[in-house]
């Protein structure tokens, strides 16, 4: 099973899509241009601090609000390897898989971690933090394939031999 | 085991005899709505496909409503992309006709349909007994190219309504009360179904306002039983129902809530969460800078009548900007013929063309640092209406109008 470790950023409950990317920046040309403003209503400095391979750990209802697909795309562009939350809003959940962003539901981890901690995720098995293991549910292989390809459109292009 | 309305619509769209919560089905979509929020992204992805084509162009409706008229060179470019593609491919296209959900309900949606909209408030179509659900632009693209998609059959929460709303209390107060009760993710992944004797006291505008806001409780869709009011609305708009579903007596509901409409009071949702609801009286006296009467939630004729009646012979407070934005061109024309627009303008309101306006924090009426907006819009998230350090309170058309007159949050019964 695929395994990776990363430093975590900790966020609260109900992180909505307007926090992830405020409306005023949606007119920018690319998600790369938008990424520096991610989470800016809540933590303006956060986007610049996130490094490739970092992990977000959040509370309940992560991604609630709009269907704007730029939200998961930007989190991925920042280099976030996966988001672990107590629960995800459903439109955001589908959008994340379609854009190749791995989401993991776990209702215990958020309450025991501190920002900057390092955790290890073994896909479809568990999360390890400070010697404790937190079991996670597994995603079906077809969804894992879409995530690994970088999203649904990229997976289709790969399947059709375009990339 | 019987089925709920949501289960019956999915079963019909999947060609299955019966379905149950947790099953995943491939479903045929009846309609696919997309607006200028993300259609340009859908088009970009479409061109990346090996054999791009549209399964059934007659199912597609594209509506420019988020930035109308265009507010910048950047959005002009994305509108042009959408407009040109629609023309080239023969896609039904609206621009300036109103907020997408109002335009869809006035012109396209019918009972029993399964509809994807690339906008979270697509659940509004439940007012007509249609299963509308919000999707992102990749899911939209998939459905546009294949004509189908996959859906997890949701559990259903049932809201059994009894009694009647008191005078001065509106559908907005009811749905905010419900969201406050079950929480911002209280219906996550679920369908919210409304039925009962109380439903018969709610007109189509009320029903749209209720279903529209269900996504703020996380719901996948909202559904109302088809009755005389639904059928009359469809008939008046020249449409027939596809199916008129009701839940079976022995259908399974995750939970049933009994709500006596007469117990509902005027409600305000405080910044920055829709479920942060309080009795409107608790917010009385809160300073405001702007008031907004409009949106797919409360920009219909019935809402404008409520506002106009309160403001007739009164003035907007000199320190408040009061934006009035009819939800569609149809609503605007009717409001003009009833003299409502004159009333608002005589009172000093700023009447705008139909569009999403400040409800989505772009195009019009954006608020600045530390400013406060009271709104009939859909959301009050941090920064939703402009500056990250600004504040949005959500309330009914009556509370918003009374506040615009008073210059601070006020309920309609406080007007002298």
| Beta-carbon count within 10 A of B29 CB | 24
Which pLDDT value is given to residue B416?
A: 82
Does residue A26 have a pLDDT over 90? yes
Which pLDDT value is given to residue B387?
A: 96
CA dihedral sign of residues A7, A12, A16, A19:
negative
Query: B45 to chain A nearest CA, in Å?
Result: 7
Q: Walk me through the domains of chain A, giving residue ranges and CATH numbers.
A: 3-137 (3.20.19.10)
- Select B5-262's CATH number: 3.40.50.620, 1.10.2020.10, 3.30.499.10, 3.40.50.10240: 3.30.499.10
Tell me whether residues B388 and A41 touch, CB distance under 8 A. Answer: yes
Interface test with A, best of B24, B120, B136 (most A CBs within 10 A): B136
A153 in B contact zone (CB under 8 Å) = yes
Burial of B167 (0-12, 13-18, 19+ CB in 10 A): exposed
| Beta-carbon count within 10 A of B26 CB | 13
**Maximum Cα interatomic distance, chain B, rounded to a whole number of Å:** 66
Q: Give the Cα separation of B292 and B357 in Å (integer).
A: 9
pLDDT-flagged residues of chain B (< 50): none
Q: Which structure tokens are listed for B407?
A: 């210059």
A148 in B contact zone (CB under 8 Å) = no
Q: Give the Cα separation of B173 and B162 in Å (integer).
A: 15
A58 in B contact zone (CB under 8 Å) = no
Q: Give the Cα separation of A158 and A156 in Å (integer).
A: 5
| Chain B residues lying within 8 Å of A14, measured CB to CB | 184-185, 273
Interface test with B, best of A67, A89, A151 (most B CBs within 10 A): A67
A66 in B contact zone (CB under 8 Å) = yes
**Taking a C-beta distance cutoff of 8 angstroms, is the pair B292, B375 a contact?**
yes
- Select B269-414's CATH number: 3.40.50.920, 3.30.499.10, 3.50.50.60, 3.30.70.60: 3.30.499.10
Per-residue exposure over A38-58, b if at least 16 CB sit within 10 Å of its own CB, e if not: bbbbbeeeebeebeeebbbbb
Q: Do B5-262 and B269-414 share a fold?
A: yes
Closest residue to A65, CB basis, from B138, B188, B379: B379
Q: Which of residues 133-152 of B touch A (CB under 8 A)?
A: 134-139, 141-142
Per-residue confidence band for A88, with pLDDT thresholds at 50, 70 and 90: very high
CA-based nearest residue to B45, from A79, A73, A26, A75 = A73
Does residue A142 have a pLDDT over 90? no
Tell me whether residues A22 and B383 touch, CB distance under 8 A. Answer: yes
Tell me whether residues A64 and B185 touch, CB distance under 8 A. Answer: yes
Q: Where are the alpha helices (DSSP H) in B132-203?
A: 137-146, 171-182
Which pLDDT value is given to residue A163?
A: 83
A132 in B contact zone (CB under 8 Å) = no
All structural domains of chain B with their residue ranges: 5-262, 269-414
Q: Which structure tokens are listed for B167?
A: 């005078």
Lowest mean pLDDT among A8-12, A152-156, B105-109, B190-194: A152-156
| Sheet containing B221-224, strands listed edge to edge, beginning at the edge strand earlier in sequence | B221-224, B191-195, B156-162, B255-260
Q: Give the Cα separation of A133 and A136 in Å (integer).
A: 9
Tell me whether residues B188 and A157 touch, CB distance under 8 A. Answer: no
Which pLDDT value is given to residue A1?
A: 64
CA-based nearest residue to B152, from B22, B11, B7, B251 = B22
C-alpha pair distances (Å), B155 with each of B10, B19, B62, B251: 12, 11, 30, 11
Q: Which structure tokens are listed for A57?
A: 């750990």
H/E stretch holding B264 reads none
Query: B38 to chain A nearest CA, in Å?
Result: 7
Q: Give the Cα separation of B340 and B389 in Å (integer).
A: 34
Q: Give the Cα separation of A107 and B146 in Å (integer).
A: 36
Which pLDDT value is given to residue B34?
A: 98
Which pLDDT value is given to residue B141?
A: 97
Does residue A43 have a pLDDT over 70? yes
A44 in B contact zone (CB under 8 Å) = yes
SS3 B283: helix
Stretch A116-134: mean pLDDT: 97
Beta strands per DSSP E along B164-248: 191-195, 221-224
List the helix and strand counts (H, then E) for chain A: 7, 7
Tell me whether residues B361 and A27 touch, CB distance under 8 A. Answer: no
DSSP annotation string for A38-82:
TTTTT-TTHHHH--TT-EEEE-SSBTBS---THHHHHHHHTT--E
pLDDT tens sequence across B155-181 = 999 999 999 999 999 999 999 999 999
What is the phi/psi pair of residue B148, to 5°? Answer: -135, 180
Q: Which of residues 289-328 of B touch A (CB under 8 A)?
A: none
ipTM for the whole predicted complex goes beyond 0.90: yes
| Chain B residues lying within 8 Å of A91, measured CB to CB | 120, 134-136, 215
Q: Which structure tokens are listed for B12?
A: 């019909």
Closest residue to B382, CB basis, from A42, A99, A151: A42
H/E stretch holding A102 reads strand A102-105
Which pLDDT value is given to residue B80?
A: 98
Q: Give the Cα separation of A69 and A81 in Å (integer).
A: 17
Query: B87 to chain A nearest CA, in Å?
Result: 23
**Taking a C-beta distance cutoff of 8 angstroms, is the pair B151, B27 a contact?**
yes
């Amino acid at each position: 099973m695929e395994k990776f470790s990363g430093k975590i950023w900790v966020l609260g409950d109900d992180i909505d899509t307007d926090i992830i990317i405020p409306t005023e920046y949606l007119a920018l040309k690319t998600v790369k241009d938008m990424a520096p403003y991610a989470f800016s209503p809540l933590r303006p400095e956060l986007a610049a601090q996130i490094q490739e391979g970092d992990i977000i750990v959040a509370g309940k209802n992560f991604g609630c609000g709009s269907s704007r697909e730029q939200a998961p795309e930007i989190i991925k562009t920042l280099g976030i390897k996966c988001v672990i939350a107590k629960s995800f809003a459903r439109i955001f959940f589908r959008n994340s898989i379609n854009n190749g962003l791995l989401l993991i539901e776990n209702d215990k981890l958020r309450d025991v971690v501190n920002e900057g901690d390092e955790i290890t995720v073994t896909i479809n098995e568990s999360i390890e933090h400070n010697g404790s293991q937190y079991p996670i549910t597994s995603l079906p292989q077809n969804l894992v394939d879409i995530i690994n390809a970088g999203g649904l459109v990229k997976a289709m292009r790969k399947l059709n031999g375009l990339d | 085991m019987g089925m709920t309305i949501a289960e019956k619509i999915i079963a019909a769209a999947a060609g299955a005899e019966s379905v149950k919560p947790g099953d995943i089905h491939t479903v045929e979509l009846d309609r696919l709505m997309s607006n200028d929020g993300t259609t340009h992204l859908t088009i970009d992805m479409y061109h990346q496909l090996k054999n791009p084509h549209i399964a059934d162009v007659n199912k597609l409706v594209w509506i420019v409503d988020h930035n109308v008229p265009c507010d910048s060179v950047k959005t002009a470019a994305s509108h042009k992309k959408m407009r040109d593609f629609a023309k080239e491919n023969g896609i039904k296209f609206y621009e300036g006709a109103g907020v997408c959900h109002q335009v869809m309900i006035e012109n396209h949606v019918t009972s029993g349909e399964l509809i994807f909209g690339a906008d979270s408030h697509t659940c509004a179509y439940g007012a007509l007994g249609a299963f509308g659900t919000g999707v992102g632009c990749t899911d939209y693209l998939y459905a546009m190219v294949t004509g189908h998609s996959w859906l997890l059959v949701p559990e259903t929460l049932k809201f059994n309504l009894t009694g009647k709303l008191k005078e001065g209390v509106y559908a907005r107060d009811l749905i905010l009360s419900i969201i406050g009760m079950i929480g911002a993710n209280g219906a996550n992944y679920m369908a919210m179904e409304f039925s009962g004797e109380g439903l018969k006291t709610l007109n189509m505008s009320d029903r749209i306002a209720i279903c529209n806001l269900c996504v703020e409780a996380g719901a996948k869709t909202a559904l109302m039983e088809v009755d005389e009011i639904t059928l009359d609305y469809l008939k008046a708009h020249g449409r027939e129902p596809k199916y008129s579903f009701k839940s079976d007596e022995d259908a399974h509901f995750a939970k049933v809530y009994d709500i006596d409409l007469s117990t509902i009071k005027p409600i305000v949702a405080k910044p920055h969460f829709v479920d942060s609801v309080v009795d409107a009286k608790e917010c009385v006296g809160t300073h405001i800078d702007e008031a907004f009467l409009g949106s797919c939630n409360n920009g219909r004729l019935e809402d404008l009548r409520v506002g106009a009646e309160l403001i007739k012979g009164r003035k907007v407070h000199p320190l408040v900007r009061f934006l009035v934005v009819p939800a569609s061109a149809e609503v605007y024309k009717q409001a003009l013929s009833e003299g409502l627009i004159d009333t608002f303008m005589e009172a000093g309101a700023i009447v705008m063309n139909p569009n999403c306006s400040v409800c989505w924090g772009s195009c019009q009426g954006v608020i600045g640092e530390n400013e406060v907006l009271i709104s009939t819009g859909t959301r009050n998230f941090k920064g939703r209406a402009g500056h990250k350090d600004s504040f949005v309170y959500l309330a009914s058309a009556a509370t918003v109008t009374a506040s615009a007159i008073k210059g601070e949050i006020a309920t309609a019964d406080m007007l002298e």
